[in-house]
Each structure stands twice: as structure tokens, then as C-alpha cells.
Amino acid sequence: MDAVTLDILWNRLIATVNEQAAALMRSSFTSIVREAGDLSAGVFDRRGRMVAQAVTGTPGHINSMATAMGHFLDVFPTDDMVPGDVLITNDPWKVAGQLNDITIVTPVFNNGRAIAFFASCCHALDIGGRGLSADSRSVYEEGMLIPVMKLYDAGRPVQPIFDLLAANVRTPEEVMGDLHSQIIGNEVGARQLLSFLAEFDLLDIEALSDEIVTRSERAMRERIALLPDGDYPYAMTVDGFDAPITIALVLRVRGDGLTADFAGSSPGVDRGINVCLNYTRAYASYGVKCAISPDVPNNEGSFRPVAVTAPEGCILNARYPAPVGGRHLVGHFLPSVVMGALAGALPDKVMAPGFDALWDTHVAGRDPATGKSFSFTWFAAGGTGALAGFDGLSATAYPSGIAGVAVEVMESLAPIVFEERSLRDDSGGPGTFRGGLGQTMAFRVEVDRPYLFSGLYDRIDHPPPGLAGGAPGAAGRLAVSGDRPVRPKTSVMLPPDTVVRYDIPGGGGYGPAHERAVEAVVADVRAHYVSVEAARRDYGVEVDTVRWTGRRIG
């Protein structure tokens, strides 16, 4: 295939999956999908290989979905499907690692033959069970597990599945609505694909897929081959549940292949922070890609040179039926662990650890204004780590890529009032380049009876470390009015007058703070420090170039 034709077809394919994702988001019933973008969308060839993904979406969704198609085809082979079929599963061990993430797959037919698949994965607002929390002791407590099955059979809805789902979730309108949004998105993608195949007189995408996958694999192998052969170790400690968790990694580079070996990581635990291997693969491979090949398309070919292994039963390779509802509280740290391991080989291409694991807040109860039950979840971000040449980003969700949702939107969807949302002063780790700032949020729930609160938070006991001599970012904090003892990662009933306040960690710094340019120190201190003592602690004598005004350094 000549380069010009390939470029045209590739761009049309990307436009197709972007339109698929846009249709899904526009029709979504929830802010989780519509505003936050907690979803993925992609197109697969008839062999089940992911060819292209939409520009939106989280690595945990898209990279897990890329390997999930094989599980669908094991149950429903390509040639056994008929027009109108729609498949579904939320099996954590086959797709995105927790029950709330539902994957929908739709085959595309041309001249009576299945030629491709469109798939999407979205975070459902509710899936029954205990709600979004990490204090379950098995996956059975976490909600409904949907095996790989047909949601539509030859265009006819499999009604018992719809009825069963609606009867077992707290918010049936939103959950069922988003399922239909996923189906609509897949249908839009299918129409777009068939249109451009007809325009270019193609019967399927197999030749295009071969070219894209082959080129992507070759490009990825070329990047890996530039790394010196060797073993690159790194380890990180995070809060865990009852005890700290160690994530241990050895990156082994051999020629044009790379293996991420997580042997030595902590064993699995009896609470819901365990990670399924497919989710471990998703975020570990994403970390590798960010460091060495951010410009190579993300598809079957770019995955092939990177192997990810973890001993069965460890925290990163959970055995069924381990609880996995809060798997991101470990899985989201993997890109930072990969970056730490690659720091010895690529010091100018890696970033320091940040807050990493999204701070997920879940509340549920009875809305006195309507008399109906509500269940609402939102995500919040802290600071990212710094890297050579750049300060970290503030209140930015890396590695998940989730967007922040405006408080006005959240207050319109649930009986919640936010009293504060602000950047957190002094929270970025000092360094030659400073870590990004975390944020502070405070809220109350306007109810007339106790409500359920679950806060999936980490880096409270173990703040984000710096890299290459940089200092750690600030640790997270959780405070509940009335001095009520509330433990992160657990569910608790709170009285109506409660105000919950949390401070999300800042990112780690990169490089020694004393090497930061004076101009950058002055700008940094003026913008982010309220205490001259704290500024002197972080930057030493250089801060004397800045005048203290009494309230803020200016």
C-alpha cells in the first residue's frame, strides 16, 4: 500500500472511531461518560486485532479492551455472528478489571460477511453490590458480573438481561441509558466505516489492518532497540488497605523486545485493591509507550513487542474471585513505576511520580427533594510529576486521562453542594522542575437522613516521590467534620450535617531543587507559597531574592 493511500485511509479510520466516541458521549446519560470521558472506543478487524482507537479514553479501558476481543471471539466466533448481534461483558478478568466497566461489541457486516467490530467500554454509574468501594472481600460483593453473552440477538433485545440489570442497580435509567449510548456509538462507527469502504471500493479492512499493525510493530521495536540491553529495576510503596503495598518491577530489554516483570510485588489482599493481569498489562504497556514511543499508533502492533508478567496471586495478578473494585488504587501507579525503571536509560524522557491514582468519591442515599434514591460518583485529580525541562501539571489526571467535571454540573445531578474547590498551595514537590499542584475539595450532601460515603483515596501515608534528586509532593489528607473517624477506601454512613474535605497530593519534583533557575524560583514562590519558611525549606538561599509581604510572597 503506497504511503499516500495509507495516510488517507488511516485518517479516515481515526475520524471514524472519533465519531463513534463522540456519538457515545453526546448521547450518554451520565457525567462520568459525557463530561469526564471515562470510556474507550475502538475498531477491530475480523480477526479481533485492534486497529485504531478514538483520541478520548483511558488506558485502562482501551488497552484492556484491545486484549478482550479474543475472549469475545472464543465464545462467539466471527463467522457464527449475524447482523444485529450485540455482545456484552463486564468480567474483570476479561476486560477492564472491575464490574463497573461494561464493554459492548458490535460486528459490522458487508455483503453478508462480518468484516470488523466496533467496541466501547464505559464506567457504569452503578452495578449493584456495595457500590464503588474497596472494602469488599470478594468480587461477589461488588455487584453483577455479566459473562460474555449476547445483549441483542439478530437485532432482537435479549430482554431478560435488560430486566435483570435494571432490577439490580440503584440508577437503572442512567445505567440502561448508557448501554444504549454504547450501542448507538458502535452503530455510528459501523455506518462511517461502510461509507468509506464503499468510497474506496474495499470489501473489508484486512489489508489496511495488516499494514497498520505491521508498521506500528516495526516502529515500536525500533524504539526499544535504541535502549541499551539490560535489567532496569524500580520499586514503589503505596498505602494499600491494611498495610502498605510494594510494586516491584524489573524491565528487561533484550534487542527489540521488552518485558515488564512484576515479580517481587506484594501478594494479593482480601480487600478490593487487587488488579487483574489484563489491567496490569494495560497500564504497564501505557507507561512504556509514554516514555519511548508516544507518537506510535496504539494498536495490536504496538503491544506485541512488550510483554507484561506478574506471579499469579500477587497484587497485580489477582485470582478469581478476589475483590477488585478499587483496582485503580494500585494499577494507576504502574506508569510511574515503569518511568522510574526507565530513568537510568532515558533520564530526559521520564517523569517523576504524581498523585497517579484518581481520587474517586461515591455517595448514595435518598434525595429529599424527589423522594428517590440517588447514587453518584465523581473523580478528582492531583498534581502530575515533573520531568526534565517541564514542571508537572496541576490538578490533571495522569495516567487515566479523565477530565475534571465542573462543580455546577455535579451539583445539578445530585443533592451535593461544593463549598470549596481550589489548587493546593505548597503541594508540588520542589526540584529543578517542580511537581504539579494538587487540589482541595470540600462538599456536603443535602439529605435529611444518613447517606453512604466511600472515598477511594491513596498517597496519604506515602506521598509521591521525586525523581533524579527531586523532592516528594505533598501527601493527601482526608478530614470529616465533627472529628468523625473515616478511613479511606471504606464505606461509611455519614449524618446529613457532615462536611467532607480532602486535599489531593501534588506531584514529585524532578532534579535537585538548588539547581532550579532563580527566575523560576521567584515565579514559583510568588504563585504557590504562602509561607516564607516553607519556601526557604524547599529552595534555600535563592528564595532571599523574593520579598515577603506578610500574607503571600511577592
**pLDDT at res. 542:** 54
Residue with cell 524504539: 223
Interval 315-346: pLDDT, tens? 999 999 999 999 999 999 999 999 999 998 99
Higher-confidence residue of 135 and 541: namely 135
Cell of 54: 478514538
Residue 190: phi, psi to the nearest 5? Answer: -65, -45
Kindly tell me if the per-residue pLDDT of 32 is higher than 70.
yes
Interval 282-323: pLDDT, tens? 999 999 999 999 999 999 999 999 999 999 999 999 999 999
SS3 4: helix
**pLDDT at res. 478:** 96
Kindly tell me if the per-residue pLDDT of 553 is higher than 50.
no
Interval 174-222: pLDDT, tens? 999 999 999 999 999 999 999 999 999 999 999 999 999 999 999 999 9
Report H helices in 360-426.
407-413
List the beta strands (DSSP E) in 183-312.
Answer: 230-238, 245-254, 257-261, 306-309
**pLDDT at res. 543:** 55
| Upper half-sphere CA count for residue 485 (Cβ side, 13 Å) | 0
**pLDDT at res. 483:** 81
Question: What secondary structure letter does DSSP report for 462?
Answer: S
**In the predicted model, what is the mean pLDDT of the chain?**
93
Closest CA to 343 of 235, 225, 209: 235
178 touches 101 (CB < 8 A): no
Interval 367-422: pLDDT, tens? 999 998 888 999 999 999 999 999 999 999 999 999 889 999 999 999 999 999 99
Q: What is the CATH number of domain 3-204?
A: 3.30.450
| Upper half-sphere CA count for residue 357 (Cβ side, 13 Å) | 27
466 touches 508 (CB < 8 A): yes
Least confident stretch, 25-39, 251-265, 330-344: 25-39
**pLDDT at res. 485:** 85
Q: 3-class secondary structure for 63-104?
A: HHHHHHHHHHHHHCCHHHCCCCCEEEECCCCCCCCCCCEEEE
Closest CA to 434 of 512, 510, 381, 528: 510
Residue 494: phi, psi to the nearest 5? Answer: -115, 145
Q: Which residue ranges make up each domain of the chain?
A: 3-204, 225-347, 351-516
Least confident stretch, 128-142, 147-161, 448-462, 518-532: 518-532
Say whether pTM exceeds 0.75.
yes
**pLDDT at res. 117:** 98
Q: What percent of the chain shows pLDDT beyond 90?
A: 85
Residue with cell 468480567: 91
Higher-confidence residue of 549 and 236: namely 236
Kindly tell me if the per-residue pLDDT of 168 is higher than 90.
yes
Kindly tell me if the per-residue pLDDT of 544 is higher than 60.
no
> For residues 151 and 374, what is the distance between their CA atoms, to the nearest angstrom?
26
Kindly tell me if the per-residue pLDDT of 354 is higher than 90.
yes
Residue with cell 443535602: 446
Cell of 453: 460515603
Instruction: Report the chain's terminal Cα–Cα distance, integer Å.
Output: 61
Cell of 129: 453490590
**pLDDT at res. 265:** 98
> For residues 43 and 81, what is the distance between their CA atoms, to the nearest angstrom?
17
Q: β-strand 86-89 against 101-110: which pairing, if any?
A: antiparallel
Closest CA to 280 of 244, 249, 316: 316
Question: How large is the average pLDDT for residues 51-60?
Answer: 91
192 touches 210 (CB < 8 A): no
Interval 62-104: pLDDT, tens? 999 998 999 999 999 999 999 999 999 999 999 999 999 999 9
**pLDDT at res. 294:** 92
> For residues 92 and 281, what is the distance between their CA atoms, to the nearest angstrom?
13
Higher-confidence residue of 541 and 200: namely 200
Output the CA–CA distances (angstroms, integers) from residue 363 to 99, 323, 443, 492, 493, in the order listed: 18, 20, 11, 10, 10
Closest CA to 139 of 312, 283, 273: 273
**pLDDT at res. 546:** 55
Element (H, E) at 280: helix 277-292
Question: How large is the average pLDDT for residues 53-57?
Answer: 88
> For residues 353 and 392, what is the distance between their CA atoms, to the nearest angstrom?
10
Provide CB contacts within 8 A for 197, sequence distance 6+.
Answer: 110, 115, 203, 204, 205
Residue 152: CB atoms within 10 A of its CB come to 18
* CA angle 462–463–466, rounded 5-degree value: 125
**pLDDT at res. 549:** 43
Element (H, E) at 105: strand 101-110
534 touches 426 (CB < 8 A): yes
pLDDT confidence band for 531 (50 / 70 / 90)? low
- Name residue 276's amino acid: C
Provide CB contacts within 8 A for 191, sequence distance 6+.
Answer: none
pLDDT confidence band for 3 (50 / 70 / 90)? confident
* 262-263-265-271 Cα dihedral, nearest 10 degrees: 90
Closest CA to 525 of 511, 546, 502: 546
**pLDDT at res. 414:** 93
Element (H, E) at 307: strand 306-309
Q: Which residues pair with 307 in a beta bridge?
A: 259
Higher-confidence residue of 106 and 540: namely 106
**pLDDT at res. 548:** 44
